[in-house]
Amino acid sequence: MDVTDLLDGLNDAQREAVAAPEQHLLVLAGAGSGKTRVLVHRMAWLLRTGQASAHGIMAVTFTNKAAREMRDRVEKLLNVPSRHMWIGTFHSLAHRLLRHHWREAGLPEQFQIMDSDDQLRLIKRLMKQMQIDDTKYPPKQAQWFINQQKDEGVRAQYVQGVNNPFERTMAGVYDAYEKACQQSGLVDFAEILLRSHELWLNNPDLLQHYRQRFRHILVDEFQDTNAVQYAWLRMLGGSQGQAPSATTNYLMAVGDDDQSIYGWRGARIENIQRFPQDFAGAHTIRLEQNYRSTMTILQAANEVISHNSGRLGKNLWTEGEQGDPISLYAGFNEQDEARFITSSIDSWVKQGHKKGSVAVLYRSNAQSRVLEEAFIREGIPYRIYGGQRFYERLEIKNALAYLRLIQSRHDDAAFERVVNVPTRGIGERTIMILREHARSQGISLWQAAHEARELGLLTARAANSVEGFTQLIDRLSAQTLDQTLDETVHYVVEKSGLIEFHKKEKGEKGQARVENLQELVTAAQEFDVGDSEEPPLKTFLDEAALDAGDAQAEAFEDSVQLMTLHSAKGLEFELVFLTGMEDGLFPHKMSQDDPQRLEEERRLCYVGITRAEKKLYLIYAEHRRLHGQDHYGRLSRFVKEIPTTLVEEVRLKSQVSRPVSSQRAYRDTAALDDSGLRLGQIVSHPVFGEGTVLNFEGSGPQARIQVNFRAEGSKWLVLAYAKLEAVNSERC
C-alpha cells in the first residue's frame, strides 16, 4: 500500500513531523493544532515504512482513554491489531515493566497497587504508631510530602533541607512509610514510576534490552511530565550514560507549554526547554493552524493566555468560521447555574445534536454534585469522566478489597478495609492487637489473625469473629476458583454480605450503593483482559486501581460529559460549558496571590476554552454554596480578559423559577433601572469600597440594595442614601 496516503489530510508542518527522518523531534504547538493527530500518524508512518515494528514502538499518553483511542486509530490507519503494542500512560507502562521484572525491582511477585485512599490510611496508621500529633502534622500533608519527594525521585534517606521540626517529622514519616510499603509489597502511584526508573538504573542490561527494543518513543502532552518521568524518558530515549556507539533511540515529544496544568503535582514546563539540550540534534517543529475551534473561541483563548508571561510563544490561527459569540450567564446561585445548563443542553439536543457532544467543565470536583442532581431531575443522561469516581466509591472499594484478599491474603490495606464490613463484631481494639502483632513479627495482618488466635491474644468472642472472617475469605476464594471474572465479582459482592449490608441502609443511598455494586459486575463483564498472561482478576484489579474510573464513560448511552478542567485535557466537544467562573473558585483562591500559580490557573482556563469546537458558555454564580460555605464570587478575572466584542450576556427565560429573594429583585427592576445599577454590577461606596450588587428589595425611598463588599462582606443599604457609584458598566 502507498505510504503517502498517511500524509493526506495533513498540512505542511504536520507532514514534516510525520515523515521526518529518524531523529529526536519536538512538536511544539497550541491547542487543537493536530499534535495528537501527528503523533498517531507518525506511529503509523514508522510502521508502514518499515522503520519500526509494532514491537519496537512505545507511545505514552496522558490517560488510559487516550491510549485506547490511539490503539483504535492506529488499527484503523493500518488495519493491524495493536494489542501487543506498548501504548499507555506513564503509570501503566511503568507498571507493566514492574510486573515483568518484579524480582529485579526488589518487589514481591504479588505486589499490590495502593491508591491514594489506601496510602492515606497507611500513613495515618504509621503516624499513630509513631505517636505523632496529627493536629500539628496532618496526615494529608505527609502524604503530599511523600508523593512530592517521589515525583522528584527522592528516596526517604536522601530527603534534603530538613531544617525544622516539621520537615524532620515529615521525613521521618516518609522513612517509616517506605519501610512499611516494602515489607508488605505495597506500591503507590508515584512509586510505580520511581521504582521502574530505579529498575533501569540498577540493571543496565535490562535497560539496554529495552533501549534496543524501543527505538521509537512517542510522548503526548509532554509539557506535563514530572522529574521522574523525564528522567525515565531520558534513560530510555536519550544518550545519557551510553557509549557513543550504542543504539540510537528517537524520542518524539509533542506538547504545548500553555497547557501545562500539573505543576502542582510536580510537572515541569522546563522539560520542554531542556529537550533540545538533553536530546542532541533534536528538530523542533511548530504547528500553527488550529482545526478545532471557531475563530471567536480561538481569539478568546489567545487573548486569555496572552496575559501570561514567560511563554515560549506561538501563533495560532484558524481558517474556520467566526462562529457564535461566547455566551456569558450570571446565575443567582449554583442551582440557577445548573438549571441554565440543563435548559441550554435541552435546546441544543432539540436542534439535533448528540448529548455526547456536550461537556460541562468545572474547577473543583465538589461542583459536580449540584450539576448531577440537576441532570437527574431533568432526566438528562450524563457521565462523570475521569477523576476519582466509580472506583473511588466506598462500596466499590469494599468489594474490590474482598477481591484483593482473594487474590492475595497478605494485602493489609484490603484486610483493614473489610475485616469489619459488613459489621461482624470486630472492634478497633481487636484490630489494634492484630496490627501490633503483625508489626512486631513482621508479618501480614492475615497471618497475625491466625497467630493471634493460636496465641490467645484475643478474647474468645473476638477470636471467633476473626476466624469467621478468614474462613469467609478462604471460602470465597475456593468457590470462585473456576469461575469467570464476572461470575467471581457477582459471587463475591453477594456472598461477602455487601449487597445485603447496603440494602439495609436507609434511603436512596443504600439503593445507589447496591446499584453500584451491580455496576461492578457489569464492568467485569465488559472487561477486556487483553493479552495479559496474568489471571483475569488480577488484571481487572490492577486496572481498577490505575484507571480510577475513566473507562466507564464510554460504555453507556449517549450522554453529556461532566469533568474537571484537568481531566478535559486533550479532548474536544462541540459545546462546552465552563462553570463557576468566579474569582476564588477559578482562579482558585489558593492560587490568587501567587503569580506562578495564577499563571497555571490561566493555562487551565486556556485548556478549558480550547476544548470547545463550536460554542462556548461561561457561567458564574453570584452566590454559591460549596462545601457547606457561602461564597459571593466576583466574575473571574479570566472572563474579563476576553474582549467584550466576543461575548454576549444571556438571561434566563422568565418562566424559570428564581430564588425568593431574587424574585423580589426581579419585581423591583424598576428600582434597579432608576439607579442605573444591575445585579452583578461592581459598585463603589465611599466607606466600604468596592463590591458586587447581589440583591434588591422594595421600591421608592424604601428601596434597599444588598452589596457584597470585597473588604467588608455583604451589607444591606438604603439605596437612596448609599451613594453607590457604578465602577464600570461592562458586563460584570
The catalytic residue positions are: 35-36, 220-221, 259, 611
Minimum separation from the CB atom of position 38 to ligand ATP (A): 7
Query: With contact defined as beta carbons under 8 Å apart, do 220 and 62 qualify?
Result: yes
Cβ neighbours, 10 Å, residue 248: 16
Minimum separation from the CB atom of position 127 to ligand ATP (A): 40
User: Among residues 18 and 107, whose Cβ is nearest to ligand ATP?
Assistant: 18
Asked if 60 is part of the footprint of ligand ATP (rule: CB under 6 A), the reply reads no
Minimum separation from the CB atom of position 36 to Mg ion (A): 3
Asked if 356 is part of the footprint of ligand ATP (rule: CB under 6 A), the reply reads no
Binding mask 107-146 toward ligand ATP (x if CB under 6 A, else -) reads ----------------------------------------
Piece of 28-36, 266-274, 654-662, 695-703 that binds ligand ATP (CB under 6 A): 28-36
Q: How many residues bind Mg ion (CB under 5 A)?
A: 3
In this structure, what DSSP letter does residue 636 have? P
Phi, psi dihedral angles at 696 (to 5 degrees): -135, 150
Q: From the list ligand ATP, Mg ion, none, pick the one residue 37 interacts with, judged by a Cβ distance below 5 to 8 Å according to partner type.
A: ligand ATP
Name, in order, each residue with C-beta under 8 angstroms of 308's C-beta and a sequence gap of 6 or more.
258, 599, 602, 603
* Residue type (1 letter), 614: K
d(CA 492, CA 541): 14
Q: From the list ligand ATP, Mg ion, none, pick the one residue 24 interacts with, judged by a Cβ distance below 5 to 8 Å according to partner type.
A: none
Minimum separation from the CB atom of position 43 to Mg ion (A): 14
For residue 482, with 0-12 CB atoms within 10 Å meaning exposed, 13-18 middle and 19 or more buried, which class applies?
exposed
Asked if 36 is part of the footprint of ligand ATP (rule: CB under 6 A), the reply reads yes
Residue of closest CB approach to ligand ATP = 34
Q: Which grid cell is 243?
A: 557509549
Asked if 36 is part of the footprint of Mg ion (rule: CB under 5 A), the reply reads yes
Binding mask 533-572 toward ligand ATP (x if CB under 6 A, else -) reads -------------------------------------x-x
Query: With contact defined as beta carbons under 8 Å apart, do 384 and 359 qualify?
Result: no
d(CA 132, CA 583): 37
Asked if 570 is part of the footprint of Mg ion (rule: CB under 5 A), the reply reads yes
Q: From the list ligand ATP, Mg ion, none, pick the one residue 10 interacts with, judged by a Cβ distance below 5 to 8 Å according to partner type.
A: ligand ATP
Asked if 172 is part of the footprint of Mg ion (rule: CB under 5 A), the reply reads no
Asked if 357 is part of the footprint of Mg ion (rule: CB under 5 A), the reply reads no
φ/ψ region of 559 (left if φ > 0, alpha if ψ in -120 to 50, else beta) reads beta
Minimum separation from the CB atom of position 33 to ligand ATP (A): 4
d(CA 498, CA 398): 8
Piece of 36-44, 546-554, 598-606, 624-632 that binds Mg ion (CB under 5 A): 36-44
Query: With contact defined as beta carbons under 8 Å apart, do 44 and 74 qualify?
Result: yes
* Residue type (1 letter), 252: M
Instruction: Return the residues of window 215-274 that contact ligand ATP according to CB under 6 A.
Output: 256, 259
Piece of 5-13, 115-123, 420-428, 696-704 that binds ligand ATP (CB under 6 A): 5-13
Query: With contact defined as beta carbons under 8 Å apart, do 441 and 412 qualify?
Result: no
Minimum separation from the CB atom of position 651 to ligand ATP (A): 32
Piece of 303-311, 424-432, 568-576, 589-597 that binds Mg ion (CB under 5 A): 568-576
Minimum separation from the CB atom of position 291 to Mg ion (A): 12
Q: Which residues pair with 27 in a beta bridge?
A: 254, 285
Q: Which residues pair with 248 in a beta bridge?
A: none
Asked if 9 is part of the footprint of ligand ATP (rule: CB under 6 A), the reply reads yes
Cα–Cα distances in angstroms (integers) from residue 658 to residues 334, 652, 693, in the given order: 12, 10, 17
Asked if 32 is part of the footprint of ligand ATP (rule: CB under 6 A), the reply reads yes
- Identify the three-state secondary structure at position 649: strand
User: Among residues 237 and 570, whose Cβ is nearest to ligand ATP?
Assistant: 570
User: Among residues 38 and 142, whose Cβ is nearest to ligand ATP?
Assistant: 38
Q: How many residues bind ligand ATP (CB under 6 A)?
A: 19
d(CA 642, CA 446): 59
Asked if 35 is part of the footprint of ligand ATP (rule: CB under 6 A), the reply reads yes
d(CA 58, CA 213): 9
Asked if 33 is part of the footprint of ligand ATP (rule: CB under 6 A), the reply reads yes
Query: With contact defined as beta carbons under 8 Å apart, do 220 and 126 qualify?
Result: no
* Residue type (1 letter), 573: F
User: Among residues 44 and 107, whose Cβ is nearest to ligand ATP?
Assistant: 44
Q: From the list Mg ion, ligand ATP, none, pick the one residue 33 interacts with, judged by a Cβ distance below 5 to 8 Å according to partner type.
A: ligand ATP
* Residue type (1 letter), 16: E
Q: In the chain, count of helices (H) and strands (E)?
A: 28, 21
Binding mask 581-620 toward ligand ATP (x if CB under 6 A, else -) reads -----------------------------x----------
User: Among residues 98 and 218, whose Cβ is nearest to ligand ATP?
Assistant: 218
CA proximity to 676, closest of 622, 724, 623, 714: 724
User: CA dihedral defined by 631, 635, 637, 642, rounded to 10 degrees?
Assistant: 160
Asked if 11 is part of the footprint of ligand ATP (rule: CB under 6 A), the reply reads yes
CA proximity to 216, closest of 57, 88, 74: 57
Cα angle: 135, vertex 141, 144; to 5 degrees: 165
Residues engaged in binding Mg ion (CB under 5 A): 35-36, 570
In the complex, which residues of this chain contact ligand ATP (CB under 6 A)? 9-11, 14, 29, 31-37, 256, 259, 291-292, 570, 572, 610
